[in-house]
């Protein structure tokens, strides 16, 4: 699948399927999701075999440890993928929900009703579970989907897609409701981005290059799932033991994901007390520290010098930038300039400073005294997620079933005309 | 204002002002809106004098009667503009509203809180009241705004803008929260569309040329306010007297607006009975009828032949396309192919057919037994409106205060870390 004609045909088929899909009952959709979950587990051997091809290529191409972690499928991760589909089946169907009812003085009754968006294109990199998560969420919310994964996970994605498309055979959901663009060149994406007649929404998940390309070329509405340059700011009124636990968790527990901390900001008032033990702990866990001059004055050895670019870098690895800031304002300004509007935390016992932080930092998810790692559809209680939107429109933060819907207004009259 | 440098400076100033504005209290914002309303009325002589320059140019350029109607400012319309600002002052401030509270089993408390979007660019054509309506709504929702009106209303827009910017002097709202791009060339728009560092949302309101241009060139999220090719479908189970009143109202009451009917679809089952009287009434009101072959068989004279292009045309004038369709499905298919996803109505006493119409037509606002002319922020009870979104994302249909906000998640913990 790669030529312009084939991609247009794919989008047309998806559009047609989306009309059919919008009329499929919740029960039928859930049946399909459960079948998909079963089929993934039943074919886990095949999946891991195909995944191995990607892992071998990753080793050849010397991908980072974090990247290879993201790419790997084992029995547990396949079970988790299946579980995500089952969880999606158990979630409330958002389609048809009456969001608002308005009665007007002239007798008009207005209902705001949730509907599917239509056809959604998702362009992503690396993690193969995204393929099944997104198919499940799009189907449940009544949308057709066109997926385009990264070349690193090509074999894994094709295998997952093949299994799930087969699951649709003989079901109420048309097979054309799901598509995988398996071409590895960017030209295919470029063609897709021009098909605003058939595709209603593009969700790019990935790094700067991908997001830039999509923002520049798309004629279709885009909700960006951009990198996570997440910060934890240890305030001068922080409980330092709590701060250590939060920072350690935010950096070390799973460094290869977008809600992991990339920069630790430490208030000047507690830097001398906080940094030595914290940095020792992080280094013990294998974290490379890149510090500002003040950090390097406090920790005399073993800390690399951070360069300007480090403040804007999503490492997705065991590397951490550390900066000592003068005060709350210094932290807020740093985050608003260098952050990616994803997830940022303050550790403090001072409620006034906490509220000021929440009000002034322009990010999707802001934490007081908790790890940034909680930015996640599951952790927020939404069930699964398509990803984390770093955009402000339509969906911000974890994007789940509701965010995959739109609405229309149904207006019931008895002959009303406008005066 | 036209050079690239000037436009960038304008956007930077707007961005800076938007941060300040997001902290201005509801009371201060309302005070400013009331002052603006007063100032508009106090300067109505000046406004009408400037508006006359636009009307003279419109006459010279032989604009249609409908266009000139849209352009005209008289005492009543100026009072209406002021009233809209007062109404906006009286509306509930959406900023800070807690939309959802989630308590997680691990003790995290998550609040989804409404916030302003930031800087909004609105590109529109024709009606000058849009200038004051949009300034009022953007300020109330805490957003800075950059306006770019059409060249037909240049003098009127400049006059309104001058009055309202003066109203901000000495208030808590920075003057840089509102801007007017008074350059008349499209190059200025092109520059604006590239400033995604400073501008968060672009709303184009207008015809095909403008929308196409914006969709093609914008690096910023766009919510299109496209033309209204609105339909009324007279079903075979319609109360024909009600149908006549609704169709007459939808076409004649104010033909120059986007929610006016452009195509009347008549079920074959009632065409012979319905059309003669209906068309006579419309013609008496000065409406030019362009009919399909069946319509012209029933009405032997005085009906022009509709060509294919007519079904896709927003006349904004006393012209109506008329088509006889075989059944409900014929009506739905015609609307989904030729409509602009704006507002469409069915007149019927048959609830099953009504529900099928509501479910199957892919438009923002769907009516049963009421005129399409009700698609309007006021009529829906939202107070004023920025316009009618024909897009599906973030905002669909009348776009008012709530639709001018986004949200962020505030997460309160006591040291929680991810397991």
Successive 10-residue mean pLDDT values, chain A, 419 residues = 84 95 95 98 98 96 86 95 94 96 97 97 89 96 96 96 97 97 88 95 89 91 93 98 98 93 98 98 98 97 97 95 98 95 98 96 97 95 89 95 97 97
Which of B369, B393, B406 has the CB atom closest to A201's CB atom? B393
Q: Count A/B contacts: CB-CB distance under 8 Å.
A: 184
Residue that has been written with the tokens 């060339």 in this structure: B185
Asked if A128 and A158 count as a contact pair (C-beta separation under 8 A), the reply is: no
Smallest CA–CA separation between B380 and chain A, in Å?
Answer: 7
Which of B117, B245, B391 has the CB atom closest to A417's CB atom? B245
Q: Which residue of A has its CA nearest to B390?
A: A408
Task: Count Cα atoms within 13 angstroms, Cβ side, for A161.
Answer: 21
Q: Do domains B4-225+386-412 and B230-374 have the same CATH topology?
A: no
CATH for the stretch A4-225+386-412: 3.40.605.10
Q: Which residues of A touch B380 (CB under 8 A)?
A: 102, 104, 110, 409
- Res. B2 pLDDT band, cuts 50 70 90: low
Q: What is the pLDDT of residue A2?
A: 54
- Best mutation target among A409, A412, A414, A419 (most B Cβ atoms within 10 Å) is A409
The dihedrals phi and psi of A100, each to the nearest 5 degrees, come to -160, 145
Alpha helices, DSSP H only, in B62-185? Answer: 65-71, 75-90, 129-140, 154-167
Domain extents in chain A: 4-225+386-412, 230-374
Across residues B40-67, what is the average pLDDT?
Answer: 94
**Sign of torsion over alpha carbons B154, B158, B159, B164:** positive
Which of A254, A397, A416 has the CB atom closest to B371's CB atom? A416
CB-based contact B368 A253, cutoff 8 Å: no
CB-based contact B366 A393, cutoff 8 Å: no
CB-based contact B374 A416, cutoff 8 Å: yes
CB-based contact A406 B393, cutoff 8 Å: yes
Across residues B248-271, what is the average pLDDT?
Answer: 96
Across residues B23-45, what is the average pLDDT?
Answer: 97
Asked if A66 and A127 count as a contact pair (C-beta separation under 8 A), the reply is: no
Smallest CA–CA separation between B417 and chain A, in Å?
Answer: 5
CB-based contact B196 A215, cutoff 8 Å: yes
The dihedrals phi and psi of B30, each to the nearest 5 degrees, come to -65, -40
Smallest CA–CA separation between B348 and chain A, in Å?
Answer: 10
pTM: 0.92
Q: Is the pLDDT of residue B416 over 80?
A: yes
Across residues B136-159, what is the average pLDDT?
Answer: 96
CB-based contact A370 B108, cutoff 8 Å: yes
Smallest CA–CA separation between A188 and chain B, in Å?
Answer: 18
DSSP secondary structure letter of residue B151:
G
Q: What is the pLDDT of residue A1?
A: 47
- Best mutation target among B353, B357, B374 (most A Cβ atoms within 10 Å) is B374
pLDDT tens digits, one per residue of A25-36: 999 999 999 999
- Res. B163 pLDDT band, cuts 50 70 90: very high
Alpha helices, DSSP H only, in B145-284? Answer: 154-167, 186-193, 208-217, 240-252, 268-284
Q: What is the pLDDT of residue A208?
A: 82
Asked if B382 and B140 count as a contact pair (C-beta separation under 8 A), the reply is: no
Asked whether this complex has an ipTM greater than 0.85, the answer is yes
Which of A201, A249, A410 has the CB atom closest to B358's CB atom? A410
- Best mutation target among B222, B388, B409 (most A Cβ atoms within 10 Å) is B409
Q: Which residue of B has its CA nearest to A116?
A: B392
Q: Which residue of B has its CA nearest to A378?
A: B104
Which of B118, B249, B371 has the CB atom closest to A392's CB atom? B118
Asked if A249 and A371 count as a contact pair (C-beta separation under 8 A), the reply is: yes
User: What residues contact residue A345 under an 8 Å CB cut-off, 6+ apart?
Assistant: A230, A231, A232, A233, A246, A250, A261, A366, A367, A368, A369, A370, A371, A372
Q: Which residues of B touch A102 (CB under 8 A)?
A: 380-381
Q: Which residue of A has its CA nearest to B244?
A: A415
Instruction: Tell me the fold of A230-374.
Output: Aldehyde Dehydrogenase; Chain A, domain 2 (3.40.309)
Cα separation, A266 vs A263, whole angstroms: 10
Cα separation, A1 vs A6, whole angstroms: 6
Q: What is the pLDDT of residue B1?
A: 46
- Best mutation target among A332, A339, A361, A416 (most B Cβ atoms within 10 Å) is A416
Cα distances (Å, whole numbers) of residue B38 to B80, B81, B163, B231:
12, 10, 10, 39
Q: Which residue of B has its CA nearest to A197?
A: B337
Smallest CA–CA separation between A370 and chain B, in Å?
Answer: 5
Smallest CA–CA separation between A309 and chain B, in Å?
Answer: 18
CB-based contact B392 A118, cutoff 8 Å: yes
Cα separation, A380 vs A345, whole angstroms: 16
Strand bridging mode A288-291 / A319-325: parallel
Cα distances (Å, whole numbers) of residue B10 to A240, B123, B157:
44, 15, 17
Could you list the beta-strand ranges (E) of A192-302. Answer: 201-205, 230-234, 261-267, 288-291
CB-based contact A408 B364, cutoff 8 Å: yes
Q: What is the pLDDT of residue B66?
A: 76
pLDDT tens digits, one per residue of B185-202: 889 999 999 999 999 999
Smallest CA–CA separation between B394 and chain A, in Å?
Answer: 4
Cα separation, A368 vs A339, whole angstroms: 17
DSSP secondary structure letter of residue A207:
-
Percent of chain B with pLDDT over 90: 89
Which of B47, B77, B29 shows the shortest CA–CA distance to B161?
B47
Q: Which residues of B touch A201 (CB under 8 A)?
A: 392-393
């Amino acid at each position: 699948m790669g030529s312009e004609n084939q991609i247009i045909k794919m989008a047309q088929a998806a559009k047609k399927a989306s009309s059919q899909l919008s009329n499929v009952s919740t029960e039928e959709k859930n049946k399909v999701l459960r079948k998909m979950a079963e089929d993934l587990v039943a074919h886990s051997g095949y999946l891991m075999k195909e995944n191995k091809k990607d892992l071998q290529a990753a080793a050849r191409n010397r991908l980072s440890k974090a990247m290879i972690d993201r790419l790997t499928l084992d029995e547990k991760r396949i079970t988790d993928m299946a579980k995500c589909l089952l969880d999606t089946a158990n979630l409330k169907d958002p389609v048809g929900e009456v969001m608002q009812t308005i009665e007007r003085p002239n007798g008009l009754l207005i209902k705001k009703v949730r509907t599917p968006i239509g056809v959604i294109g998702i362009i992503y990199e690396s993690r193969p579970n995204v393929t099944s998560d997104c198919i499940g969420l799009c189907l449940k919310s009544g949308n057709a989907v066109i997926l385009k994964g990264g070349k690193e996970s090509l074999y894994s994605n094709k295998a997952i897609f093949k299994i799930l498309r087969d699951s649709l055979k003989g079901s109420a959901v048309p097979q054309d409701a799901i598509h995988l663009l398996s071409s590895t060149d960017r030209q295919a994406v470029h063609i897709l981005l021009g098909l605003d007649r058939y595709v209603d929404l593009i969700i790019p998940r990935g790094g700067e290059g991908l997001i830039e390309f999509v923002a520049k070329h798309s004629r279709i509405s885009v909700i960006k799932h951009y990198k996570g340059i997440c910060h934890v700011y240890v305030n001068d009124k922080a409980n330092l033991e709590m701060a250590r636990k939060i920072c350690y968790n935010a950096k070390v527990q799973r460094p290869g994901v977008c809600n992991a901390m990339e920069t630790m900001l430490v208030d000047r008032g507690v830097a001398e007390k906080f940094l030595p033990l914290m940095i020792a702990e992080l280094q013990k866990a294998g974290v490379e520290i890149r510090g500002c001059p003040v950090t390097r004055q406090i920790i005399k050895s073993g800390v690399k010098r951070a360069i300007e670019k480090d403040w804007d870098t999503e490492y997705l690895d065991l590397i951490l930038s550390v900066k000592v800031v003068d005060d709350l304002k210094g932290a807020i300004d740093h985050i608003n300039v260098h952050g990616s509007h994803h997830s940022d935390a303050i550790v403090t016992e001072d409620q006034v400073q906490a509220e000021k932080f929440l009000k002034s930092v322009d990010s999707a998810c802001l934490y007081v005294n908790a790890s940034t790692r909680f930015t996640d559809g599951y952790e927020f209680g939404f069930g699964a997620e398509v990803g984390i939107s770093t955009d402000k429109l339509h969906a911000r933060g974890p994007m789940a079933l509701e965010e995959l819907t739109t609405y229309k207004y149904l207006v019931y009259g008895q002959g009303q005309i406008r005066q």
